[in-house]
Structure 1
């Protein structure tokens, strides 16, 4: 799915009963690795995405808290889909790097909130930092990430 296809699917499915769940499954069908954390999209728009992750046995570490890599997975998923719907059809993206800070134990369900300032003109592209906060049910930030997206023009043809 291209960014425009993702945005169209979101607009069509999100308002429906179980539409956000179905949209989340479609994204995971396209990028199967993310299915391991069973994400569910809550918000998806240019400059912002919110993805939830339920605390369940499959994502726990030896301490009984949500595993750090599970949090990285939803951070990258939120950042990537938000980037997709933020770009014009003339551009594409790929993650270039990720910096992560683990701030406290993740003991509840989580929400990844990805944000980025969408420029008016993407020009030829370049680095675009996407900030992601992973928050617990109380709203406390348990992890913070900056994901550097590399934006470039699509090749003609």
Structure 2
């Protein structure tokens, strides 16, 4: 089992465990801390990350900034990739295509779904991430290219 998945499973059983896990992730990759994400679900082939709409992630229109959504998409896609690839494999994001579909006027949820991806082979993997608002409307979509190298 991948180290991050083991830690997530242990902490998520505790009160505030998801928040604690998310804090640890942001300590390891400090830039993600700028959006104050919360990893709410994590398993091979799936990751879910939420952020609150707050002043520090908004733009001049008082909607969630495009780059904040890119950050949460990269975090969801990266966490899902990390717990999906074989143990001792390495991966790195090498590209991202995004679509801004609607103004993001509320808290957001990013879902990375990779259960149809062949994680047992090397090479570029296209990881889809969808971001929805509190009403379930898709406001943003990303496709992240993850380069996977097997050990």
RMSD: 1.1
Measured against aligned partners, the alpha-carbon deviations of 1:100-124 in whole angstroms (never above 9, x if no partner) come to: 00000000000000111242x623x
Measured against aligned partners, the alpha-carbon deviations of 1:8-29 in whole angstroms (never above 9, x if no partner) come to: 1101001110000000000000
Q: How many residues align?
A: 150
- Who is 2:13 aligned against? 15
TM-score by length of 2: 0.96
TM-score by length of 1: 0.92
Q: Gapped runs of 5+ residues in structure 1?
A: none
Distance in 2, Cα, partners of 1:54 & 1:75: 14
Distance in 2, Cα, partners of 1:63 & 1:81: 30
Shift of 1:134: 0.4
Distance in 2, Cα, partners of 1:18 & 1:152: 34
- Who is 2:93 aligned against? 95
Measured against aligned partners, the alpha-carbon deviations of 1:123-156 in whole angstroms (never above 9, x if no partner) come to: 3x001111000000000000000001000123xx
Q: Gapped runs of 5+ residues in structure 2?
A: none
Distance in 1, Cα, partners of 2:111 & 2:2: 21
- Who is 2:143 aligned against? 146
Structure 1 ranges of 4+ moved more than 6 A: none
Distance in 2, Cα, partners of 1:28 & 1:55: 18
| 1:46/1:118 contact within 8 Å kept | no
Shift of 1:91: 1.1
